[in-house]
Amino acid sequence: MTQNYRITLLPGDGIGPEIMSVAVDVLKIVGQRFDISFEFQTALIGGAAIDATGEPLPAATLYTCRNSDAVLLAAIGGYKWDSLPSHLRPEAGLLGLRAGLELFANLRPAKILPQLIDASTLKREVIEGVDIMVVRELTGGIYFGKPKGIFAAETGEKRGVNTMVYSESEIDRIGRVAFETARKRGGKLCSVDKANVLEVSQLWRKGMTKLASQYPDIELSHLYVDNAAMQLVRAPKQFDTIVTGNLFGDILSDAAAMLTGSIGMLPSASLGASVPGVFEPVHGSAPDIAGQDKANPLAQILSAAMMLRYALNQAEAADLIENGVLQVLQQGYRTGDIMSEGMNLLGCQAMGNELIQILEAK
Ligand code: NAD
């Protein structure tokens, strides 16, 4: 029976429309293979929305996103809008989308592709086979806790204050996403905190440990964040899925991503409680190469694969795309950002065409 999904596309700015168009072509091919029918609806966000409507996140966009099964986003931003006040800048559209869809879980994979192993700054034997997923809490913790601000102390000196807060229910909901994610991967979950110093981390650790009894198939471990940072660069292969709070996750997900060494290859997912998830590449709108057919579309395509796996439960379709990406690299095709000697340099569209040929032949 045909499965129907309504997908909102947010191409945004810069290279966004170029990489989105390639990802949509790939989804259509995969849809035909697995009897999946996609109803695509395109909406405005970021600079493109500012130009058309005066706001970075028009109400119509949020409405369309809420009424879809998943959202595929490219990237927002560019020089043209850099001088606008912050609430009218393209980035405000992204923050508004996260808040409007209550996206509390951010999933950032860092997988070393054998074909791109030399792009990493770490030694081959350290990173070969690395396949990590960082699950970061996105709407709580020290970035949002109150009190926050810069206050005058009694001494007349100013004091800057932020507060790291997590409630049991916030810990529980991010924990569930992380255990479920580990279940779809290698079955190992490492919770990262600072429970030797912070009370909020002690509650975090208690919450994760309590949840573990409901997931007997998942092996749970705990690390302090300083040790986790060391282990990530010392022996990253020990990790499968990592779960952590907003601040620690911000830092560790970037460190994990850079193990791979190539920004044009990294997808991400942000998930909410009942609303559709948003799937997007980690990179920005790359205004320096926009409109030149030079962008690497693979992070966008891998984001579409994450959408199939995590929002639509279409693991086989996701596998097909991910294996196709490996194969296109294996055949020596590269965009400029991942180019190396002896490889075959392609533009954005041509890279998409090579991948589609591979998918059609499978
Ligand atoms: P960027 O990720 O856009 O670009 C950094 C460098 O990587 C550039 O040299 C760019 O050409 C290159 N690059 C990025 N993606 C690439 C791809 N797919 N293929 C080939 N090369 C690629 O980061 P930046 O330059 O700091 O920011 C540019 C704009 O993007 C800014 O307006 C920023 O606010 C915005 N931004 C948006 C997001 C988002 O939409 N989630 C994230 C980061 C930055």
User: 291 and 275, same structural domain?
Assistant: yes
Mutate to test the pocket of ligand 1, among 10, 20, 254, 263 (most ligand atoms within 8 A of CB): 263
- Compute, in angstroms, the gap from residue 115 CA to the centroid of ligand 1: 23
- Compute, in angstroms, the gap from residue 258 CA to the centroid of ligand 1: 15
CA 337 from centre of chain: 19
Does 90 appear as a known binding residue? yes
Residue 147 backbone dihedrals phi, psi, to 5 degrees: -75, 150
Which tokens sit at 349? 């569209």
Does 91 appear as a known binding residue? yes
Residue 121 lies in a domain: no
User: 337 and 295, same structural domain?
Assistant: yes
**Residue where a domain terminates, one of 258, 284, 307:** 258
Cross-strand partners of 158: 152
- Specify the residue with its C-alpha closest to ligand 1, atom 32: 77
Residue 310 lies in a domain: yes
Cross-strand partners of 9: 42, 72
**Catalytic residue positions, numbered:** 143, 194, 226, 250, 254
Q: Work out the burial of residue 297: count CB atoms within 10 Å of its CB; fewer than 13 is exposed, 13-18 middle, 19 or more buried.
A: buried
Query: What pLDDT shows up at residue 60?
Result: 98
- Specify the residue with its C-alpha closest to ligand 1, atom 24: 284
Query: What pLDDT shows up at residue 227?
Result: 98
Which tokens sit at 177? 């996403």
Give the residue carrying structure tokens 């999933």. Answer: 107
**Residue where a domain terminates, one of 217, 232, 258:** 258
Query: What pLDDT shows up at residue 1?
Result: 83
User: 266 and 243, same structural domain?
Assistant: no
AA letter at 74 = A
- Compute, in angstroms, the gap from residue 293 CA to the centroid of ligand 1: 15
Residue 119 lies in a domain: no
Query: What pLDDT shows up at residue 103?
Result: 95
Q: Structural domain tally of the chain?
A: 2
Of ligand 1's listed atoms, the one at least distance from the Cα of 78 is 32
Query: What pLDDT shows up at residue 362?
Result: 82
Residue 120 lies in a domain: no
User: 279 and 254, same structural domain?
Assistant: no
Does 83 appear as a known binding residue? yes
Does 281 appear as a known binding residue? no
Q: Work out the burial of residue 212: count CB atoms within 10 Å of its CB; fewer than 13 is exposed, 13-18 middle, 19 or more buried.
A: middle
SS3 for 2? Answer: coil
Query: What pLDDT shows up at residue 347?
Result: 98
User: 347 and 282, same structural domain?
Assistant: yes
Q: Which domain holds residue 224?
A: 131-258
- Compute, in angstroms, the gap from residue 283 CA to the centroid of ligand 1: 5
- Compute, in angstroms, the gap from residue 285 CA to the centroid of ligand 1: 4
**Any idea what the CATH number is for the domain that residue 301 is in?**
3.40.718.10
Tell me how far apart the alpha carbons of residues 220 and 190 are, in angstroms, rounded to a whole number. Answer: 6
Ligand 1 pocket by C-beta < 6 Å: which residues?
15, 75-78, 91, 94, 263-264, 280, 283-289, 295-296, 299, 335, 337
**Residue where a domain terminates, one of 201, 236, 258:** 258
Give the residue carrying structure tokens 């990802």. Answer: 23
Which tokens sit at 156? 């007349």
State pTM to two decimals.
0.90
- Specify the residue with its C-alpha closest to ligand 1, atom 44: 284
Query: What pLDDT shows up at residue 71?
Result: 98
Mean pLDDT by 10 residues, the chain (362 residues): 95 98 98 96 98 97 97 97 90 91 95 89 94 96 92 93 97 97 96 98 98 98 98 97 97 92 90 89 96 97 96 95 96 94 96 97 87
Contact residues for 333 (Cβ-Cβ < 8 A; gap 6+) = 343, 344, 346, 351, 354
